Structure 1
């Protein structure tokens, strides 16, 4: 559950940069959004692996 909380924090943290990029055309904010999306992808994969392991162990 700790990783899921981190995922939510990361999404909330990137929201301002996404707004700056899409609404103001700020290129640097776009770079930060891309980095955050890569971090989200990695974290999501970690969560998927953890859930699968836990599910398979429960059987």
Structure 2
């Protein structure tokens, strides 16, 4: 559950930069959002592997 909490926190952190990118057309904020989304993808993959491992261990 710790990793799931990290996902929620990461999404909350991205929100301000996403706002800056879409509303103010701030390119640097867009770069930060893209990096955070990549981190989110990696974290989601780790969570999927963990869940699959626990499921298959039964």
TM-score by length of 1: 0.96
Displacement of 1:44 in angstroms is 0.2
Aligned length in residues: 58
Displacement of 1:57 in angstroms is 0.7
- Gaps (5+ residues) in structure 2? none
- Gaps (5+ residues) in structure 1? none
Displacement of 1:41 in angstroms is 0.2
What value does the CA root-mean-square deviation take over the aligned residues? 0.4
TM-score by length of 2: 0.98
CA distance in 2: counterparts of 1:54 and 1:2, whole angstroms: 15
Runs of 4+ in 1 over 2 A off after TM superposition: none
Aligned to 1:31: 31
